[in-house]
Amino acid sequence: MKTRDDRQLLLKWYEQMALCFEHALTPEERDDLDKWDREWVDGGAGVSTSDWPGWKKHIGPRPALTAHADRRKTA
């Protein structure tokens, strides 16, 4: 189970992601994200849009969570 602090970190990071998409991504980056989504995101639990490597340039890596909270499989 995620801690309250973990949830707050993730919510802030997702908020930054949405703002980045709206205001900071270039048309080329949006195209890259769209292509990446079509190739990697399959609707399963393994990979999602938030895993796109391009986010790191703008909003940094996904926040590190407490050891017991991050049970997500890496792709």
Digit-coded pLDDT (tens) for 40-73 = 998 776 899 999 999 999 999 999 888 654 455 5
In a domain, 48, yes or no: yes
- Per-residue pLDDT, averaged over 14-24, amounts to 97
Considering its fold, how many domains does the chain have in total? 1
Tell me what pLDDT residue 24 has.
97
What are the tokens at 40? 């990697």
What are the tokens at 10? 């993730």
Tell me what pLDDT residue 71 has.
54
- Which residue range is the domain that position 52 belongs to? 4-59
In whole angstroms, give the CA distance from residue 32 to residue 45. 22
Tell me what pLDDT residue 72 has.
56
In whole angstroms, give the CA distance from residue 62 to residue 51. 8
Q: What is the value of pTM for the model shown? A: 0.77
Give the contacts of 66 (CB within 8 A, at least 6 positions apart).
2, 3, 5, 6
Tell me what pLDDT residue 75 has.
47
- Residue 42 CA to chain centroid, in angstroms? 15
In a domain, 64, yes or no: no
- Per-residue pLDDT, averaged over 19-47, amounts to 93
In a domain, 72, yes or no: no
